[in-house]
Structure formats: structure tokens, C-alpha cells
Amino acid sequence: MDVAGLTLCAAVEGLRKKTYSSVELTRAVLDAIREKDGALHAYLSVDEEGALRQAAAADAARAAGHDTDLLGIPVAIKDLINVEGQPCTCASNMMQGYVAPYDATVAARLRAAGAVFAGRTNMDEFAMGSSSETSAFKVTRNPHDLERVPGGSSGGSAAAVAGGEAIAALGSDTGGSIRQPAAFCGCVGLKPSYGRVSRYGVTAYASSLDQVGPMTRTVEDAAVLLQTLAGVDPHDGTTLDTPVPDYRAALVGGVRGLRIGLPKEYFVDGTDPEVMACVRRAVDACATAGAEIVEVSLPHTEYAVAVYCIVGTAEASANLARFDGVRYGHRTSRPASVFDLYARSRAEGFGQEVKRRIILGTYVLSSGYYDAYYGRAQKVRTLIRRDFTEAFERCDVLFTPVAPTPAYRIGERCEDPLTMYLGDTFTVPASLAGICGLSVPCGRTAAGLPVGLQILGPAFGESVVLRAGQAVEQEVRA
């Protein structure tokens, strides 16, 4: 059987109808990885035996009358989510050889639903990057053009799903790390609202921003996966105890009467004309289908990347202080002092982008600079949030490009960190505001590169965002 093009929903139907077993399905995924990953480099490690054992257990459970929407479905996992007994390197030399001692809550939820862990996907080191090039181990390729990046930081998950090496995957998004690689690779990616999905057991980058979410072939698949991931977790005090709606049921309804806001700050010169044309086409298709289009303004958009550079790196510098060579992670040999133990373990364990961000974060938090940078950034964050609150009084969802360009060439932006950061212009504001965002394919460039439409909704508005995404998927043939 061929897993390329197979959706999660179709796969579970195949299992229910006994067209194939989970062992057969899992074997097909493992075969696809073996066949294709030599070119794509989407995975860092694959536990074939463990996956087949889980698949056999899922088949036995199904034979005994059990059923869930994920029972026996192989799911690829970004390599910063702990799955007990598996490596969790965060694509860093710092964590080489580490074996996860427990399940992250999202992993435990997948396990309880009977999902199979298909393998660990590549990423930017500690999720710091937008191209997956900062991985210490390999450079993942874009399945649509092997000379181009898959986006990042969840580039391995996106490439695996789009390249036919996974049916569905988990990613994480701090400033766009699910949405942008989904757009670059032509798959669906959902960043849930802050507090919707537990982050317990997920290696922290910036704690006030990080969220785990689904990366899939269809919007319906994303809805199904989110259903299992979402909900309050006593292990993560930032999760909210609000009811989890039936996301799949929310997909019907189309866009008739839906108010779609176009933030004028996202439709400016500087965005690739082909990207803009695809986004416009999606907007027009929804208007034809009965949506109401309204222009709105998010006046503080231009400050978002600056705020993100400050808040994200500040939190990273605090979170990554735990890597000190003492209890786990890389330790230098023969340190001459305590300082030396820390400074050399960290120098040897971290790659350049991680070092840069820790240093910038330490700077913006340091005595004499805290108020000017971190303090001010938190206040500007309030203004960015307020922009969205006001916009959502006039519309139900916002449509924007995910990124100003399609996937760029490998190596093209490595020398200039600021250019790389500015590529996150359209995804970072929603992260700072804590709202949800979906990336859905909306066309291709003349060269065949996928373009993503970003659909933003209010906090805990996943249902309306998925509903709009489903409509775009149906109205626009990507």
C-alpha cells in the first residue's frame, strides 16, 4: 500500500473496514521512510520494532472491540516531545544520547488513544530557527524542491507529511514553527491558542508562547488530531479548563455569512507577488461562496518581530539555563572550575543560533537594560493583543499570508539572522497575542512551490478557524 496522499481519516476508515491492519499500515509508513528519507532527511530516529509492537497492540485492541479516531494510526513526533524510552535530542548535540524518562502529556494522550509513534522528526535546534537548518544533525529538504528548505522549526514534521513519509505529525509553534513549515511544504498546520494544549514534557523554548499542534494532509485530519491533544492538564498550569468542543462537527457550515477580516498591515509591498495572488484567490473564492470581506487594521504589527526577538530570547535564556552539564545533557571533559563546567559544556553542546539567542536574551534581561527592552516589549505585547481583540469585534477570522515568500534555497539566509527573523513577520503577532492560527495550502507558484494561507481566530476559536480552513480547502484547489 502507498501512504502518500493517505489522510488520517481515510486511514482510520481503512482500519475500521479491515482493508488493512495497523501493522500493515505502520509497515507501509516505515517502508516509505526507508525509501524516501535518504533524500528528504525528515526523521532523526525511527524505532521500527517499537512502532510495530504498538501497531500489533492496536490491532489486538480493535479485534477486542475498541475504537478511537487514532487507534492504530502512526503519528510522527517532533524531536522535542518526550516519549518514554525514545530519544529526544531537540536536534542538539547537547541532548545526544538522552532517553526520555516519561511521556509528555500530548504523547500520553496519543498513547491512550492507541496511536503508533512512527518516528522522531528533525527540527531547528531547540526549535530556534525558521528553516530547520540549525539542526545539529541534518538539513531536511523540501519535498517539492530538494534544494529548498522545508521551513522551520517543525520542518521535519512538515516534510514527512507532505513527502509521503507520515500520515500525520506533531509540531510545536513558538513564533510560527508549525504554520510556516506547513505553508512551505504544502500541508495543514494548526497552532492552537495558548493554553489549549499541554506543554508538559515538551522541551521549553519560550514558555509564554510555545504550543504543540497537529500537522496533517487535511483540515479534517487536524481537527481529529487536535481533539485528542486539547484539554486541561494538571501537569501544566498554563492550560485552561475550558470545554473542548467537537472540532470535527464544527467543520460543516462553510463560509456563508462568515466575516473574514483582511488586516491591511499584512497586505503590503514586500510580499512575493505570487504568494499574494494565491492568498487573494482564496479570499475571492470565499467571497464568492458567501463570506463577507472586511478590511481591518492591526496597527502594531510592525513591532511584533522586535517584541518577539526580546520576549522569545529572554525566555529562552532562562529556560536553557537548565543545561549545565550536571544532571543530563552534554558535559565537558576535565573542567577547571564550576564556571568552566557550565561555560564549556554549553559552548560544546549548543549550536550557533541557540548561543546567539541565549546571549541576546541574557542581554535584554540584564541589569540596566531590563526596563528598556523586556519591560517595554511586554507592554507593546499588550498593544498587539489589543489590536486583535478589536479586530475580532468586526470579523470572525482573519486571512493573511503565512510567510512573505515561498520556500527559499538552503543556505540562503544562514548568514543574516535578522533577515531570517523578519520572515516570521506574519506568524509572530498571533503567537504574542495567544490566539490560534491555521496554515492551509492555497495554491502554488509557477515553479510549483506551495503557498499557505493563514487563518487566525480569537483565543479558543479553533472551531471557527478549522471551519474556514475546511471551506478554503474545498473552494481552492491547491
Binding residues among 367-386 for other proteins as defined by CB under 8 A = 372-373, 375-383, 385
CA angle 215, 423, 186 (to 5 degrees): 30
Binding to other proteins by residue 120, rule CB under 8 A?
A: no
Residue 244 as a binder of other proteins (CB under 8 A): the answer is no
Rg (CA), the chain: 21
| Residues between 132 and 161 that touch other proteins (CB under 8 A) | none
Q: Does 389 bind other proteins (CB under 8 A)?
A: no
- Residues numbered 207 to 226 that lie near other proteins (CB under 8 A) are 208-209, 211
For other proteins, give the closer residue by CB, 10 or 383.
Answer: 383
- Identified catalytic residue from 22, 135, 177, 317: 177
Among 231, 342, 412, 464, binds other proteins (CB under 8 A): 342
Quick one: which of 307, 403, 438, 440 contacts other proteins (CB under 8 A)? 307
Helices (H), 91-178: 105-112, 155-162
Residue type (1 letter), 277:
A
Q: How far is CA 271 from CA 79, 152, 189, 469, in A?
A: 31, 19, 21, 22
One residue of 335, 404, 412, 444 binding other proteins per CB under 8 A: 335
CB 87 within 8 A of CB 42: no
Region near other proteins per CB under 8 A, out of 160-168, 255-263, 297-305, 403-411: 297-305
**Residue 238's closest CA among 192, 196, 176?**
196
CB closer to other proteins out of 329 and 423: 329
Q: How far apart are CA 203 and CA 433, in angstroms?
A: 21
Applying CB under 8 A, does 243 fall inside the site for other proteins?
no
Q: How far apart are CA 288 and CA 99, in angstroms?
A: 52
| Type of residue numbered 399 | F
**411 touches other proteins (CB under 8 A):** no
Q: Does 53 bind other proteins (CB under 8 A)?
A: no
Longest dimension (CA), the chain: 70
Interacting residue with other proteins among 270, 334, 446, 477 (CB under 8 A): 334
Q: Is 341 one of the binding residues for other proteins (CB under 8 A)?
A: yes
**Applying CB under 8 A, which part among 112-120, 253-261, 303-311, 465-473 lies near other proteins?**
303-311
Provide the residue count of the chain: 478
Q: Which residues in 465-478 are b (16+ Cβ under 10 Å) and which e?
A: bbbbbbbbbebbeb
User: Residue 38 is inside which H or E element, if any?
Assistant: helix 22-40
264 is catalytic: no
Question: Contacts with other proteins: how many residues (CB under 8 A)?
Answer: 76
Residue 252 binds to other proteins (criterion: CB under 8 A):
no
Measured CA to CA, the distance from residue 365 to residue 373 in angstroms comes to: 8
| Of 98-106, 161-169, 269-277, 403-411: span binding other proteins (CB under 8 A) | 98-106
Between 346 and 365, how does the x/- string for binding to other proteins read (CB under 8 A)?
xx--x-x--xx-xxx-xxx-
Cβ-contact 119, 79 below 8 angstroms: no
Residue 458 interacts with other proteins (CB under 8 A)?
no
Catalytic entry in 130, 135, 153, 317: 153
Cβ-proximal residues to 237 (8 Å cutoff; 6+ apart), any chain: none
Residue 291 to residue 285: CA distance in whole angstroms: 9
Question: Minimum Å distance from CB 234 to other proteins?
Answer: 5
Does 330 sit near other proteins (CB under 8 A)?
A: yes
Task: Kindly state whether residue 421 participates in binding other proteins, applying the rule CB under 8 A.
Answer: yes
367 is catalytic: no
Of the residues 21, 22, 78, 431, only one is catalytic, namely 78
78 labelled catalytic: yes
Instruction: State yes or no: residue 50 binds other proteins (CB under 8 A).
Output: no
Q: Does residue 106 belong to the site contacting other proteins (CB under 8 A)?
A: no
Interaction residues for other proteins, span 175-204 (CB under 8 A): 193-195
List residues bridging with 148 in a β-sheet.
409
DSSP string, 411-426: TTTTT-HHHHHHTTTT
Say how far residue 128 (Cα) sits from the centre of its chain.
12
Smaller CB separation from other proteins, 101 or 257? 101
Give the nearer residue to other proteins in terms of CB position, either 126 or 194: 194
Establish if 270 lies at the interface with other proteins (CB under 8 A). no
> Cα–Cα distance between 150 and 163 in angstroms, integer?
10
Among 44, 291, 309, 468, binds other proteins (CB under 8 A): 309
Q: Which of 39, 63, 146, 338 binds other proteins (CB under 8 A)?
A: 338
19 binds other proteins (CB under 8 A): no
**3-class SS of residue 346:** helix
- Does residue 40 interact with other proteins by CB under 8 A? no
Q: What is the DSSP code string of 304-344?
A: HHHHHHHHHHHHHHHHGGG-SSSSSS---SS-SSHHHHHHH
Cell 531537540 belongs to 90
Q: Omega into 153 within 30° of 0, i.e. cis? A: yes
Note whether 231 binds other proteins by CB under 8 A. no
Active site residues: 78, 153, 177
